[in-house]
Chain A
Amino acid sequence: MIPELGQLALTLALLTALLQAVLPLVGAHQGRTLWMAAARPAARAQSFFLLIAMLALALCFINNDFSVEYVARGSNTALPLYYRIAAVWGAHEGSMLLWVFILGLWTLAVSVRSRSLNEAMLARVLGIMGLVSVGMLTFILFTSNPFTRLIPAPVDGNDLNPLLQDFGMTIHPPMLYMGYVGLSVAFSFALAALLGGSLDAAWARWTRPWTLVAWVFLTLGITLGSWWAYYELGWGGWWFWDPVENASFMPWLVATALLHSLAMTEKRGAFKTWTVLLALFAFSLSLLGTFLVRSGVLTSVHAFASDPTRGLFILIFLLLVVGGSLGVYAWRAPAIRDHARYALFSRENLLLLNNIMLVTAAASILLGTLYPLMLDALGMGKISVGSPYFSSVFAPIMAPIFLLAGLSPLVGWRDASAVAVFRRLRWLFGACFAAGAGLTLLCFEPNDYATMAGLSTALWLSATCLFSFYNRVRVRKTLLEGLRAQSPSIYGMTLAHFAAAVFLVGTVLSNHYSVEKNVRLAIGEAVDLGGYTFKFEGVSEVEGPNYRALEGNFQVYHGASRAAELHPQKRVYTVQRKPMTEAAIDPGLFRDLYVALGEKLDDRAWSVRVYYKPFIRWIWLGGVLMAVAGVLAACDRRYRLAGERAK
C-alpha cells in the first residue's frame, strides 16, 4: 500500500510540476496575472507531493518491505535503523528521488522567501524550477522508479553496501545535492531575469544569498566526501582526482567565481552578462556531475549502481538544459548594457582575473575528466588521466588565485593606484615571504621550495585578511564600535579567505611531509615512523550488528610515553560477504596517526599500513570554516532589507 502511495505522489508531483512550469511561464509572457499567480500554489503542492513520496520510501525501508525491489537490493533486517533510513539514498533510484525532493525544498523556500519579488519574476523563477523538476521526475518515473515491486518478495534484503554504512557517507549525499540543486535557484533567477529583461543590481542582490547557501552546502558536501574517503577507503588519501570528485569540484569552482562576480554586479553594476553566464554554467556543471555519476560512463569508486540507458536520458536532459539556457542567453544577452566604468588597475579587474582563473581551473578539470570519455566514445583507445596531470595543472592556476585573494580586498573599486598599493603592501608582502621561508628552514627541509611558497602564500593571505579587516575597523572611534560596524558579509569574506589559507597550509604540509609505510608486522613487533613507535600487540575477534571483525591492537609510543592506542579492524559483512578495512586514526590538530590492517600473511604476521599525516585536519578545517563564512555572509541584513525595499 505504501509503495503505491509513493508512486501516486510522484505522479501527482510530475503533474503539478508541469502546471508550475507551463502556466506561470506562459502567463508571464502574455501578462496574464491569474496564470502567473498559479506559480506559488503549484510549487507548494509539488513540494508536498515530493515530501509524501520521500516519506513513503523511507517507510518502506523502516518497515523492511522487501517486496519493493529497491529496498530488497539495499537493505536488510540486520541493518541498524539509522542506516536503513540512510539507505533511502544508498543507490541510484533513491538518490535521484532525493535530488528531486531537495529541488522541491528549494522551490518551497523560494516560494516562501520571495514574497517581495515582483509577480512576473517570481512566476518565471518558479516556472523554470518547475521545468527542471519535470525533467527529473520524468527520468525517475520512466527509468528509475524506486517503488517498483518485487514479487515474490525475498525473505531478507541484500543489505546496504558496507562502504556506505558510515556516518560521513550518510550525510554526504544530501549535503552535496543541496549544493548541486541549490545552484538551480541562481540558474532560474538568471534565466528569469534574461527573459524579463530586468538584469539589474536588485537581481544580483536577490541571487546572492541563494547562491551563498547553495555554495555552503556544496562546500560541506565536498569536505565530507573528502573526509570520508580519508578514513573509510583505508589508504589515507584525501583527494584522488577521481572523476566523480571532479564532478563535484567543477560546480564549486564556478559557483565560487559566481559569488565574486555577483558581488561585483550588485555593488558596481559590472559584468552582468558574465555573471549570468556563470550562473548558467554552475548549474549545468551540477547536472553534468549527476550525469557522470549516474550514467555509468565512468570507472570510479562511486560507480556503485549504474546503467547506460539512464545515462542517455540524463545526457539528453543535460543537452536540453545547457542548449536551452545558452539559447536564451544568446537571444537576450546582447540587449544587456554594462554602464560601469573602471580603470585597468581596480578591484573590478582583479576580481575578473580571479573569475578567469577559477573558470580556467574548472575547464582544465573538465578536460581531464571528459577527454578519456571522448576518446573511448570515438573508439580511439582506453586511457585514463592520472592524478599527476591534475596536480601539475592545478598548482600553477591556483597559486595566483591565492595571491590575488589577499590583494584584491586592499585595492579600491573603480580606480586604484598600483604604486600606492605597492608602497603600502611591500613590507607586508616581504615579511610574509621571509616568514614563510624562515618557517620552512626551521621546521621543515631547507630545500623545499614548494612548502616555502605554499606557507608564504598562506601567511600572505591571512595577513592581508587581518590587515584589510583592521583598516575597516580602525576608522571607527573604539574597537568595539568598529567591530560592530562591520556587516556580516565583511566577516564572511574575511573568514572565507582566512579559511582558504588554513586549507592551503593543510594541503602543502600534509602532501609534503606525510610518511607512509606498508610493512609486514608479526605480533609483538614494532615499526618507527615520524618519531612514533607503533607496536603491534595482537589481533582479537569482535562482533558487530551485521558484520564480524578481526581487530588489531596497536600501542603507539612517542619516546617513552604512550601517545595512543589504535584498533583498526578488518570486517566481513555477513550478508554481502564483503571484506572492509576500518582504519584506526588518532586525530590531532598538528598530526594524525593512521593504522590500517592489510592482509593476514601467516599465523602471526599481518601486512599493515602505518601513516603519519601532519596538518591533514587543516584541509577539512578550511572547508568547514569556509562554510561558516558563507553562512555569515548569507545572514547579512542587507539582503532582507533589499527584499523589503523592492516591494
Chain B
Amino acid sequence: MTPRRRRMLWIGLLLLGIGLAAFLGLRAFQKNLLYFYTPSQVASGEAPHGYSFRVGGLVVKGSVKRGDGVKVTFDLTDGPATVGVSYEGILPDLFREGQGIIAIGQLDNNGVFVASEVLAKHDENYMPPEVGEALKKNGQIEPNYKDYQK
C-alpha cells in the first residue's frame, strides 16, 4: 500500500467517522435539546406544547400540596407569572418553599407543567443561574440574592 493511498484511506475513514458522528449527533441533538423558559414565558404561550423543556423559578410559599401516594403539586413563580407544576416522585432534599428550583417536563392541555424531574441544587446557597437571571430581569431580586451567587 503506497503512502498516498494510505493517506487517502485515512482521510476517507476520518470523513466517514465525522460524517456518521455528525449525522447521529445532529439527529439526536434536535430531539434532546431542552430549552429553558420562565413562568412568564410559559404564561404568555411562548413555551411549546408537546415538547419537553425546562422551567425554573421560586416555589411559591404555601403552594405545595400532597396527593395520593407520592404525587405532589406546587406553583413556580418568577414574579409576574406563576405556573402550576405536578410531579409524581420524590422531591430532592433541598426542595423547599421559597427555594429556586428547575423542573423538566411538558405542559398538559390544562396548562399544568407535568414534571418528570425536579432539580434543586445540592448547595442551598446556590441559585440555578437561569433562575437567578430570570428573577433579576423581572426585578424580583431576593433580599439575599448576593449570597445565592456565591
The residue from A234, A360, A384, A518 contacting B17, defined by CB atoms under 8 A apart:
A360
Contact B28 A393 (CB under 8 A): yes
Contact A352 B13 (CB under 8 A): yes
**B16 to chain A: closest CB distance in Å?**
8
Contact A364 B24 (CB under 8 A): yes
Contact A384 B36 (CB under 8 A): yes
Residues of A within 8 A of B150 (CB): 305
Contact A364 B25 (CB under 8 A): yes
| Chain A residues numbered 386-402 whose CB sits less than 8 Å from any CB in chain B | 386, 388-389, 392-393, 396-397
Contact B122 A301 (CB under 8 A): yes
- Cα distance, A541 to B129, chains bound together (Å): 36
Known A299-B129, A518-B90, A578-B124; judge A388-B28 contact (CB<8 A).
Answer: yes
Contact A352 B10 (CB under 8 A): yes
Contact B33 A598 (CB under 8 A): no
- Cα distance, A426 to B18, chains bound together (Å): 30
Residues of A within 8 A of B29 (CB): 367-368, 371, 385, 389
Contact B69 A520 (CB under 8 A): yes
| Chain B residues numbered 93-148 whose CB sits less than 8 Å from any CB in chain A | 93-94, 122-124, 126, 128-130
- Cα distance, A161 to B126, chains bound together (Å): 13
- Cα distance, A121 to B28, chains bound together (Å): 46
| Chain A residues numbered 348-363 whose CB sits less than 8 Å from any CB in chain B | 349, 352-353, 356-357, 359-360, 363
- Cα distance, A71 to B27, chains bound together (Å): 48
Interface: A304 (CB within 8 A): yes
Q: Quick one: closest A residue to B3, CB to CB?
A: A338
Q: Could you mark each residue 26-59 of chain B with 1 if its beta carbon is under 8 Å from any beta carbon of chain A, else 0?
A: 0111011111100000000000000010100000
Interface: B80 (CB within 8 A): no
Known A356-B14, A518-B89; judge A393-B24 contact (CB<8 A).
Answer: yes
Contact B21 A364 (CB under 8 A): yes
Interface extent on B, as a size class?
35 or more
**A522 to chain B: closest CB distance in Å?**
11
Contact B35 A381 (CB under 8 A): yes
**A48 to chain B: closest CB distance in Å?**
35
Known A364-B24, A518-B70; judge A382-B13 contact (CB<8 A).
Answer: no
Interface: A475 (CB within 8 A): no
Contact A341 B1 (CB under 8 A): yes
Contact A344 B1 (CB under 8 A): yes
**B32 to chain A: closest CB distance in Å?**
4
Known A393-B25, A598-B70; judge A384-B1 contact (CB<8 A).
Answer: no
- Cα distance, A199 to B25, chains bound together (Å): 36
15 further interface pairs, Cβ-Cβ under 8 Å (given A383-B36, A392-B24, A598-B91): A301-B122, A303-B126, A343-B1, A356-B14, A360-B18, A363-B18, A367-B29, A368-B25, A381-B35, A383-B33, A388-B32, A392-B27, A393-B28, A520-B69, A580-B93
A→B interface (CB under 8 Å): 161, 163, 234, 299, 301, 303-305, 338, 341-344, 349, 352-353, 356-357, 359-360, 363-364, 367-368, 371, 381-386, 388-389, 392-393, 396-397, 518-520, 576, 578-581, 596, 598-599, 601, 607-609
Chosen A-B contacts, 27 in total, with CB atoms closer than 8 Å, are A352-B10, A352-B13, A356-B13, A356-B14, A357-B17, A360-B17, A364-B24, A367-B25, A367-B29, A383-B34, A383-B36, A384-B33, A386-B32, A389-B29, A392-B24, A392-B27, A392-B28, A392-B31, A392-B32, A393-B21, A396-B24, A397-B21, A518-B88, A518-B89, A576-B124, A598-B70, A607-B90
